[in-house]
Structure 1
Amino acid sequence: MKFTRAIVRKPGKSYVNGLTTANLGKPDYERALEQHGRYVEALKQCGLAVTILEADEEFPDSTFVEDTAVFTEKCVVITNPGAESRNGEIVAMKNVVKDFTDTIEYIQHPGTLEGGDVMQAEDHFYIGLSTRTNEEGANQLKTILEKYGYGATIVPLVKFFHLKTGIAYLGNNNMVLAGEFIDSEVFADFDKIVVDEDEEYAANCLCINDTVILPQGYEKTKRKIEQAGYTVMELEMSEFRKQDGGLSCLSLRF
């Protein structure tokens, strides 16, 4: 699947007060801005035209735009984030996506869904059941996707925060897996690139037009991905990890 565009949102000063379970300390705002800038440059180097939205101080976590929408080639689904403090982020995103599609679907209350729980592998989507995505929301998305001819599988999570915290599809049947997903029958037919427990954070990586963007400092995972034939680009992600954020969280790619 070739990507041509991405949407990102700059972190605001309120970002340092956002939601987190990571217990890694408070983010450094200036450093987060620098890391976000390098992230945008990496997307551009991979060939994407990047739409950069200004920071929204009202919503500290709004730099994690992936959670607000699910892009497919046939429609865009506006989500319904499970964290109450994030739910208002979808108001702005509804207006943004109208510039890119006329076909918009919505997850409706009481369903909750965040984009970090949705992974596409070719024409099939995997939807994680997490603390942020409930069964009602997952089933609504499954129904929407099937209406457009896609397949969908709902995957209950045991440990991971979001589905894409522990898994990434690189294309060509190659799947990066960590933790509970390594031996899951759901992903048994993929060619597995297994992430060791001490490098689990690196499982949230991005494959954009044959380049894999990886968090910096995970040498074993980097080596395995290179051995699978991919070019790897590393980015420092320390200030986003502190708020439970990974590489995929910071953009919508389509």
Structure 2
Amino acid sequence: MFTTAMVKIPCKNLVNGISNANLGKPDYSLALAQHTRYREALEACGLEVVVLAADENYPDSTFIEDTCLVTPHCAIITNPGAETRRGEISSVKKAMEALGLTVEAIQAPGTLDAGDIMMVGSHFLVGLSLRTNKNGFEQLSSLLRKYGMTAAAVPLTTVLHLKTGISYLENNTLLAAGEFLNKPEFQSFTLLPVDEREAYAANCVWINDRVLVPMGFPETKHLIEEKGYTTIEVDASEFRKLDGGLSCLSLRF
């Protein structure tokens, strides 16, 4: 069970964030309102939400998940694969230290985005992507072993991040789309297949027996509810324009 979430307010420079979505520039005012509702959804799941101030120097910094992996034993500061995002880690590192967490870090030449990491108990599945390289994975794996945890690499071919196309809903259940449906690493799980038309909704967030789902994807929402989960819809349309999903917007621990 999670008790805490950390988020970072979207900055006005959000409109200039990295994107391959071809959905147009985000509306900053609407993004800000959606982020407020996202924080309210986290609170509805029983979490205390730590809010970091916006930083105009880093357009993508509201996607705080990529900067840190928080485990039950330590926080691991990443080295983001996009060079323009590497300065984002400083404020997150300070915030984790202020909370009293043990802090570790990935060093160059390793690159690692935590959007490529999915936690399954004490085991972590790590996507090898354009943002996460083999050296970054090897450093992460070594740090996890130090604290009695394990990791396995999953080569990616089509998605930006591992969690772009897959979400762990606990109870050995995965919500999955696209290339993840046939990967051997996931065949021991109960797979909930997301229709390709709703592939964006494969990025959901399990929090304390509730599942945050993006608004506007009724088939995926129904699929999750059929398995007995309680869902909370959250509009993330403006973050989708920057290749961001619901998990990207918070650290949960």
**TM class by smaller structure:** over 0.9
Matched, 1:84 2:83: yes
Give runs of aligned pairs for residues 125-164 of structure 1, distance below 5 A: 125-164=124-163
Q: In structure 1, how many angstroms separate the alpha carbons of the residues matched to 2:52 and 2:134? A: 31
Separation (CA, whole Å) in 2 of partners of 1:149 and 1:168 = 23
Q: 1:76 touches 1:101 (CA, 8 Å); kept in 2?
A: no
List alignment gaps of at least 5 residues for structure 2: none
Which residue does the alignment assign to 1:165?
Answer: 164
Cα displacement string for residues 213-234 of structure 1 (whole angstroms, at most 9, x for unaligned residues): 0001111111110011100111
What pairs with 1:1-254 in structure 2 (closer than 5 Å)?
2-254=1-253
Amino acid paired to 1:100 = L
Say which is worse superposed, 36-45 or 121-130, in terms of deviation: 121-130
Partner AA of 2:62 in structure 1: T
Structure 1: segments with no counterpart, 5+ residues: none
Aligned to 2:132, what secondary structure does the other structure show?
coil
Superposed CA offset, 1:40-84 (max 9, x none)? 000000000000111000100000000100000001100000111
Once residues 251 and 102 of structure 1 are traced to their aligned partners in structure 2, the CA distance between those partners, rounded to angstroms, is: 17
Q: Describe the SS at the equivalent of 1:55.
A: coil
Output the TM-score relative to the length of structure 1. Answer: 0.98
Give the root-mean-square deviation of aligned CA atoms.
0.7
Query: How far off its partner does 1:102 sit?
Result: 3.9
Report how far residue 101 of structure 1 moved: 3.4
Tell me the secondary structure at the aligned position of residue 244 of structure 1.
Answer: coil
Q: Which runs of 4+ in 1 moved over 6 A?
A: none
Alignment coverage as a number of residue pairs: 253
Q: Which moved more, 1:97-106 or 1:180-189?
A: 97-106
Which deviations, in whole Å up to 9, do the C-alpha atoms of 1:3-46 show, x marking residues without a partner? 00000001010000111111100000000000000000000000
Please identify, of 162-171 and 145-154, the stretch whose mean Cα deviation from structure 2 is larger: 145-154
Q: State the SS of the aligned residue for 1:98.
A: helix
Q: Deviation digits for residues 198-219 of structure 1, max 9, x if unmatched?
A: 1100000001001100001111
